[in-house]
Structure 1
């Protein structure tokens, strides 16, 4: 089978968990062929270079969602009259899209979705005929149509008061999000040659999958492990975009999500938390299948086996210096502030307790600033103890980068804690929680995102932004080592049953086969004698390492006359 893998800001350029998940999926399906279509979000992502891809990745093509749009020549006349026709078609299509984004008075949700789809596909048809779409999206016509939609009677006040600078920002960002419309990916030798388009995130990647279905008839699978529209809203807020711009872009992401769910042959959320959001956005329940992300359990096998042995040996033993561990990327959504206040309460009850914060390297200045703010707060909460030195063992709170001598690997960070805490105020799929479970650690988590679904009954869950509840639950496990050991062992068994790479890869293997069986691509060379479509672009026999010699014809059979005794 041939898969068109659509990614955004990840595989094969990024090295985060999202890219690692794609790599594990591709390597686990070695008998399939993959063509990767990557959308790059930033120059920093590209500068890191590509990761090594396995042989089943036949090709990698990419488009940029940043900088100037790449030129893609299109066939067609270049006369002045042709350009006028393209410009007129653009204004009609973009007017529909802008009206849907602004949400005119009296327009129902269904009418808004239909209007958005009409405008979106009109722009896609224009891009297939002409190379003028990127310039038109950055031109005065787009700005005029967007302003007219925002000034229409009955729109939200935040849009009615939009100013020119905000219109310019919104038009520029919309042009970037619509760049997949102009990508040269929708020909018979590109996504038209795939059996399945698999968008591994929503947003622009799913938009490319929609066009693969529209122009080539290739069935679409949409996978989301976090809510892409929610991620975009948080990113826009963190970037300081004005409310009117955030409103327009937020509605764009929601409308793209709704259209992709309606058109997809299968939607595969990574958790019930994401599934509920998708259903609210119009995803049909009968076309949804929850598939948890596969995590490499081998990286944590040593820590998990050690935790199991320790639990059997001294589950009743009390530790002289009970340690609370936190592992992850420092970010305001992780709410380390609440964790530090909770540990301040823990310290009053357990004076020997320690908190070790294991963080990944800061990705940007914002993350570095938040980490420094947390260090300052720790020094204020523990002034007498933190004034002397910052070495581990002399400070009740330590900040250690993963890869340092104290935690050369993430498994070492989890193993360093008697209890692992997840203190987030917002979370999608809590990967750090699953990793702690693989290590056999008892956990205390805030009730956000897919935490309850992941942890089941194998850990303690408390309300978010509640340092008192976080402290009390953590103290219960620190003071009850036998209970903590039981929870840690149960958590490890649950993780091994639900969240391994094998489980994830097998689920996607079945999903690919099911989609292709129900949505075969119609191509003239691959029709049977009755004209019905065959399900695969490449027959399985073509993958045989050697050619088999033709079987010689059987000699004529001569009957032997029967003889009587």
Structure 2
């Protein structure tokens, strides 16, 4: 099969989200042909270059979201009228109040249809005219936003929008709609793949929506985080009018992505609930946990002979380990106060904080935590801060191996990678109840409320004082992780989904220049038919 893999801010770039799982997916499905269509987020990401790509990646097309030059396309009178109509309808959809209609992301079916028609109308205009960067940056676009914000019935936040607010919203919409001007939707591009797989929702899925609209290509959408939730959090400091209008745009786009996708694959129940809240049809949803490499943690997680190791095997007695990206959402302040309480009960306890602070905010937070640790533990502090990622940094598996107990103290979390890595290492865990933590841990670790240092300390003391319980939990955690969270289960799940989608959709025979005759798939796709004898059908 030919798979059009759609990314935004990730694979094939060396830096960015979803890079690792996309690479593992592509390498694990060598029987398929992959064509990558990647949107980059900034100049630094492009400068970092690409990862090494396997042979099954036959084509890579990239486009920046962070910049776009005027493409020289200037509309005539008729095209300007069409643009004004469609852009005005799209803008009007951002000011329509939710009607609570199920299946439409909380908006009325009429308003959802209006937004959908406007979006695809703009796409058709851009395809016919060769782009619309100049039109999206035009004064007409700003005037259209102003008209709908001043119209009777518009929300209060929109009515109070200032000119500077409208300019900010217009600039954001111009950036978000740049994929409409790309030349990715012809027969030799996304028009000739068997299915599109978006590695995230939101803007990453927009090219897939257009391939479906123009050519009927089915779309699979994977979300391990929630782009809509990330937008809500990221725009918290914006002016109220800007926040309201952009939230409406991204909410409408998410609802259209979920409506159009043939299959949605959330990475956990937390993401699945968001999708259903935005109108996703439950019958389309298949939960697929992220696939992670277990081999690197085998030394900590297994005894000789492949048996599950004890949670304390090789660990430093009384040592708590925290691993992750250092930023305020990880709430290391609560962890340090909890550890102060642990030291009162377990005087020999130690804490290892292993992570990296790759941005100024994280660096400032790390400095604050180091100063707090110095105040809480004067003299010879029992808290060690270990920088990860550098040439002299210890190996990740070695860090987990040090811990008798692995701790997660976050107040915001999607899929808790560090918890899964601890489970692969056969370690007992204490985690805060955020994101998908309860779903991941199951009954193999202790979960406490976030921002509660007393509860966090009590759980840590309970495990530090009970080695047999730590052993049982660690062994059960490794067994659970090996069953649910390996690369192999992730790749196998997507292979089944590809065949399911291909089996439901009509074969689109596309003649290629180098082919003697049209062929429906680049590689024949097997569809396993349930029944006696488990018959295999090829098409």
TM-score by structure 1 length? 0.86
CA contact (8 A) 2:25 2:491 kept: yes
Deviates most, 443-452 or 63-72 = 63-72
* Cross-structure match for 2:522: 538
* Cross-structure match for 1:409: 395
* Cross-structure match for 2:528: none
| Distance of 1:178 and 1:292 partners within structure 2 | 30
CA contact (8 A) 1:226 1:428 kept: yes
- Report how far residue 310 of structure 1 moved: 9.6
Q: Any idea what SS the aligned residue of 1:283 has?
A: coil
Deviations 1:207-247 (A, max 9, x none): 1110010011110001000111111222233xx43232222
- Report how far residue 407 of structure 1 moved: 5.0
| Distance of 2:329 and 2:258 partners within structure 1 | 27
Task: Pick closer, same or farther for the CA change 1:226–1:150 going to 2, 3 Å.
Answer: same
* Cross-structure match for 1:37: 37
Task: Pick closer, same or farther for the CA change 1:86–1:104 going to 2, 3 Å.
Answer: farther
Q: Say yes or no: does 1:332 pair with 2:328.
A: yes
* Cross-structure match for 1:9: 9
Q: Say yes or no: does 1:273 pair with 2:270.
A: yes
Q: Say yes or no: does 1:201 pair with 2:200.
A: yes
Which consecutive residues of structure 2, in runs of 5 or more, have no partner in the other structure?
101-106, 513-517, 526-539
CA contact (8 A) 1:520 1:536 kept: no
Deviations 1:90-130 (A, max 9, x none): 11111111111122597943333222111111111111111
* Cross-structure match for 1:471: 457
| Distance of 1:154 and 1:216 partners within structure 2 | 38
Deviations 1:284-328 (A, max 9, x none): 11111111111011111112125998955978x9x9851111100
- Report how far residue 151 of structure 1 moved: 2.2
Q: Say yes or no: does 1:83 pair with 2:69.
A: no
User: How many residues end up aligned between the 2 structures?
Assistant: 513
| Distance of 2:312 and 2:339 partners within structure 1 | 25
- RMSD over equivalenced CA pairs, Å: 2.4
| Distance of 2:225 and 2:12 partners within structure 1 | 19
Q: Any idea what SS the aligned residue of 2:39 has?
A: strand
Pick from 337, 343, 347 the counterpart of residue 347 of structure 1. 343
CA contact (8 A) 1:438 1:496 kept: yes
* Cross-structure match for 2:172: 173
User: How is 1:127-526 mapped onto 2 (pairs within 5 angstroms)?
Assistant: 127-237=126-236, 240-305=237-302, 322-360=318-356, 362-382=357-377, 384-385=378-379, 394-403=380-389, 408-523=394-509, 525=511
Larger Rg: 1
CA contact (8 A) 2:310 2:474 kept: no
- Report how far residue 158 of structure 1 moved: 2.3
| Distance of 1:334 and 1:117 partners within structure 2 | 38
| Distance of 1:537 and 1:6 partners within structure 2 | 19
Q: Any idea what SS the aligned residue of 1:458 has?
A: coil
CA contact (8 A) 1:217 1:521 kept: no
Q: Any idea what SS the aligned residue of 1:185 has?
A: coil
- Report how far residue 440 of structure 1 moved: 0.7
Task: Pick closer, same or farther for the CA change 1:275–1:431 going to 2, 3 Å.
Answer: same
| Distance of 1:404 and 1:211 partners within structure 2 | 42
Q: Any idea what SS the aligned residue of 2:251 has?
A: helix
Task: Pick closer, same or farther for the CA change 1:309–1:221 going to 2, 3 Å.
Answer: closer
Task: Pick closer, same or farther for the CA change 1:405–1:346 going to 2, 3 Å.
Answer: farther
| Distance of 1:320 and 1:368 partners within structure 2 | 28
- Report how far residue 411 of structure 1 moved: 1.2
User: How is 1:41-60 mapped onto 2 (pairs within 5 angstroms)?
Assistant: 41-60=41-60
Task: Pick closer, same or farther for the CA change 1:375–1:159 going to 2, 3 Å.
Answer: farther
* Cross-structure match for 1:555: none
Task: Pick closer, same or farther for the CA change 1:310–1:276 going to 2, 3 Å.
Answer: closer
| Distance of 2:280 and 2:219 partners within structure 1 | 13
| Distance of 2:109 and 2:323 partners within structure 1 | 43
| Distance of 2:286 and 2:429 partners within structure 1 | 28
| Distance of 2:59 and 2:391 partners within structure 1 | 39
Deviations 1:42-62 (A, max 9, x none): 111111111110000001111
Q: Say yes or no: does 1:25 pair with 2:25.
A: yes
TM-score by structure 2 length? 0.90
Q: Any idea what SS the aligned residue of 1:13 has?
A: coil
Q: Say yes or no: does 1:96 pair with 2:89.
A: yes
